[in-house]
Amino acid sequence: MFTIVVIWDADNAEVTQWDETPWVTTWKDREVSLRAGPRERIDANGVSSQVAVYLPDEFNEEEFQELFAAHEKRIPELHLHG
């Protein structure tokens, strides 16, 4: 099972669980693409999980980086660096 973070825009993101991490999929009637991961994340309790980040296809790489940074502040699953 993978922890999936779907970043919709600057104000909206959600965390869910999927059995796999396809390159492209349709989620909630929108096409989203894998932009990061899966990467291992270890939470404060020492529990390891695989996290992948998805974004709608209309966003480019620069926009992804900006959105990731904005959401990283409030979504613990995006803290992938320890």
pLDDT digits (tens, 9 = 90+) for 22-78: 999 999 999 999 999 899 988 778 888 899 999 999 999 999 999 999 999 899 999
User: Please, which residues bridge with residue 55 across strands?
Assistant: 33
pLDDT band of 82, cuts 50, 70, 90: very low
Residue 81 pLDDT exceeds 70 = no
- The number of distinct structural domains making up the chain is 1
Q: In terms of residue numbers, what domain contains 25?
A: 2-78
Question: What sign for the dihedral angle of Cα 30, 56, 1, 11?
Answer: negative
Cβ atoms < 10 Å from Cβ of 53? 28
